[in-house]
Amino acid sequence: MTGVTRLVTYTDLDADQTNARQLAVSARLEAVLADGRNVVLLDDRGWSSSGPAGLPARTSAEHIAETARTVVGPDEPFGDRTREQMAAGHWGYLAGVLGRHGVDVPAGELERLPHEVVLSERLRAWIG
């Protein structure tokens, strides 16, 4: 059985919703397996931000990477849930996705893996 070596979030620019005053980014979280395969864990995440003209000049790759790690979870607590409960649910869900792909990994192990963020060429070009 193969293990998970790291997590990677791939980010891309949503060109239809991005201009000099608004940025829209999609984010897809994948697990990289020791055998070289990737398993998509989340493909429905993203965010947008807006401001005065010149937004690309005020946006950095580091800021995109930090935001990407935030939007792929765990989510902020709500209701009577604690941060720890939200994290346990998030990592448990991701471990379940991997389990459906034949990869048995404890949720706590996923949480400790290195997490790389990759910006698409299009997003890097928009940042300048």
Mind giving me the DSSP string for the chain? ---EEEEEEEEEE-GGG-SSSEEEEEEEEEEEETTS-EEEEEEEEEEEEE-SS-GGGG--HHHHHHHHHHHTSPPPP-TT--HHHHHHHHHHHHHHHHHHTT----HHHHHTS-EEEEE-HHHHHHH-
Give residue limits of the domains in the chain: 4-127
15-47 residue pLDDT tens:
899 888 999 999 999 999 999 999 999 999 999
pLDDT given for residue 121 in this prediction? 97
Asked whether the whole model's pTM tops 0.85, one would answer: yes
